[in-house]
Structure 1
Amino acid sequence: MDFQRLQGQDHLKFVLHGHTHRRMVKKHKHQYFLNPGSLLSTDDPGFQIIDFVTQEVIQYTCVGDEVKRIKSIHM
């Protein structure tokens, strides 16, 4: 299903997708579109965690053997 068809589907609050290898959180009306990122060392490696209790998305980057928290986005 493409994004145009997913937008406005009232029963979908979160849409998780990949392929672009870029961490992303975008809000469209009541929906959140999220891309977790990539763990490939050539693609700005990192990931996201969705915390449904605190209602936030926490973004991390991987530098060498280190994982660093870089951003927190409130939903």
Structure 2
Amino acid sequence: MRLSFSDPPINAIALQRGVADVGASKRFHLDYGFAVSSSYGTRYVAFDIGPVKLTGNNRVNEQFWTASSRDETSVDLH
């Protein structure tokens, strides 16, 4: 993906991670001073860290994540 000067500026970036234990990830980041911006029980957590939104999503399908992690060329940009 190439950006040109005619493209609108990027105001924020979301870094989404699949984690095995959302609660443990939440406690870990809270211990390091991150503020939770939204949380949905054991399925999802988002941290307020400025222009970058850091999220943790429950890895429901372990087989999907294992197969996806082998393909380093696939990037999902929404």
After TM superposition, the score normalised by the length of structure 1 is 0.24
Structure exhibiting the larger radius of gyration computed from Cα positions:
2
Q: Which has the higher helix share?
A: 2
Q: Which has the higher strand share?
A: 1
